[in-house]
Amino acid sequence: MTIILKNKATLKFDDFYFNCSIGEKGLTKNKVEGDKKTPVGIFSFENLYYRGDRISKPITKLKCIKIQKEMGWCNDIRNTEKYNKLININQKVRHEKLFRKDHKYDLMVPINYNTQNPKLGKGSAIFIHLTNDFKPTLGCIALKKKDFLILLKLINKKTKIKLA
């Protein structure tokens, strides 16, 4: 089964429709780091990351990983080894912090965009994460918590997301 982005404000999975937000500058086939665009394509997922201090482990078939204070996602276009990968933030590389004061990453699933042999500068840290207000993202897909929890019950490791 595939999650489909129907338009810039709606995801569809099976018979379920979810309000969402995407990148502030829309969709692109030519993603560039920092362009505030959501990449076009069909992508898979890996794991669910969640804040165990704020949320109990959700019901899902995805592997669940508790977010720790030292976890980050490398967005450093100078680092060929770590770019677009989960890292320990003690390393001296630019990164997106996963353990945040806000609640955006209380639930977060990385989208496998530019993850296999990542190309520097083609975009990193593209996630499905939480939102309270549906403000445009920096390139991610954002959902309300109740919808994210429903979606997590429906998807598995074979589920894809089609962004077009």
**pLDDT 10s per residue in the chain (164 long)?**
999 999 999 999 999 999 999 999 999 999 999 999 999 999 999 899 999 999 999 999 999 999 999 999 999 999 999 999 999 997 789 999 999 999 999 999 999 999 999 999 999 999 999 999 999 999 999 999 999 999 999 999 999 999 99
Domain boundaries, the chain: 2-163
Superfamily assignment of 2-163 in CATH?
Answer: L,D-transpeptidase catalytic domain-like (2.40.440.10)
By C-alpha distance, which of 37, 33, 35, 27 is closest to 4?
A: 27
Parallel/antiparallel/unpaired status of strands 38-39 and 27-28: parallel
By C-alpha distance, which of 114, 144, 143, 116 is closest to 126?
A: 114
Task: Give the gyration radius of the chain's Cα atoms.
Answer: 15
